[in-house]
């Protein structure tokens, strides 16, 4: 029993958290960006740091 | 637990152990998103929002899952995944239910996933607050107020720094000192000023 707790629970927890991240990422990507915010997103889109205030856009 | 504990937690995290100037965490947004006051306010609001939720969630996971199973050694990787998931979740909820808030914070949210200040506060809550002697509720409360104080301290410093940088734009600064060099000097002076608050509490 101790062996299972020591080795199985941490692996399962990390797998669950990774799956949770993948799920939230997919759901976030599927959620449409509001029309009035699209311009801001385009402004922030950049090849480097994606920093809105950055003046070194690539 | 007395309410003074929560006040001390806020003041300590905000001024005495300021996350940027004393712990040197979150330097990337401090230097990168402090050119304009408006963007500094947006960034600090987004950081504060995620920092408080992340601190509460990570403290809960540590107390109720990691400690009972004796698997505290995976706390860092678990916290990173929790913070990354939380940022995605917060962004999705803002897109769906609060368009005005998304317009204000949305573009800063992806940056927060890799913000070490968030992970630093979550880890700090465990190393400084968590103890088997205090109840879960008390620890949870102190962790939340510490995160609130840290977020306020982050906002205070980044806003003050952005205001100084805006002022410097129109000042007569020698050519070789313009931009980043003078900003780093200002950051150093601000850090020394905050040193004066050490020992207040």
Mean pLDDT in residue range A28-52: 69
pLDDT, residue B169, reads: 85
**ipTM, 2 dp:** 0.77
A:10-39 residues touching chain B, CB 8 A cutoff: 10, 13-14, 17-18, 20-21, 24-25, 27-28, 31-34, 36-37
Instruction: Using the predicted structure, report yes or no on whether residue A52 has a pLDDT greater than 70.
Output: no
Query: pTM of the prediction?
Result: 0.83
Instruction: Using the predicted structure, report yes or no on whether residue A58 has a pLDDT greater than 50.
Output: no
Instruction: Using the predicted structure, report yes or no on whether residue B73 has a pLDDT greater than 80.
Output: yes
Contacts of A21 in chain B (CB under 8 A): 81, 84-85, 88
Q: Which helix (H) or strand (E) holds A13?
A: helix A2-30
Query: Which residues, in sequence order, are CB contacts of A28 under 8 Å at separation 6+?
Result: B88, B89, B91, B92, B95
State how far the Cα of B11 lies from the Cα of B7, in Å rounded to an integer. 6
Mean pLDDT in residue range B3-23: 89
């Amino acid at each position: 029993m101790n062996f299972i707790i020591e080795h199985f629970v941490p692996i399962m927890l990390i797998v669950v958290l990774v799956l949770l991240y993948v799920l939230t990422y997919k759901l976030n990507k599927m959620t449409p960006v509001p029309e009035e915010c699209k311009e801001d997103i385009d402004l922030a889109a950049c090849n480097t740091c994606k920093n809105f205030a950055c003046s070194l856009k690539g | 637990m007395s309410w003074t504990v929560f006040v001390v937690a806020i003041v300590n995290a905000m001024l005495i152990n300021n996350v940027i100037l004393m712990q040197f965490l979150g330097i990337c947004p401090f230097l990168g998103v402090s050119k304009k006051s408006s963007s500094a306010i947006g960034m600090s609001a987004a950081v504060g929002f995620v920092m408080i939720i992340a601190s509460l969630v990570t403290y809960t996971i540590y107390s109720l899952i990691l400690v009972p199973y004796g698997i505290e050694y995976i706390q860092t990787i678990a916290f990173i995944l929790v913070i990354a998931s939380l940022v995605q979740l917060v962004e999705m909820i803002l897109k769906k239910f609060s368009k005005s808030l998304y317009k204000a914070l949305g573009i800063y949210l992806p940056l927060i996933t890799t913000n070490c200040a968030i992970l630093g506060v979550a880890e700090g809550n465990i190393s400084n607050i968590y103890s088997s002697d205090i109840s879960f509720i008390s620890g949870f409360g102190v962790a939340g107020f510490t995160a609130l104080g840290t977020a306020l301290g982050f906002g205070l410093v980044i806003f003050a720094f952005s205001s100084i940088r805006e002022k410097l734009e129109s000042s007569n600064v020698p050519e070789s000192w313009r931009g980043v060099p003078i900003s780093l000097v200002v950051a150093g002076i601000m850090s020394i000023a905050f040193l004066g608050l050490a020992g207040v509490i």
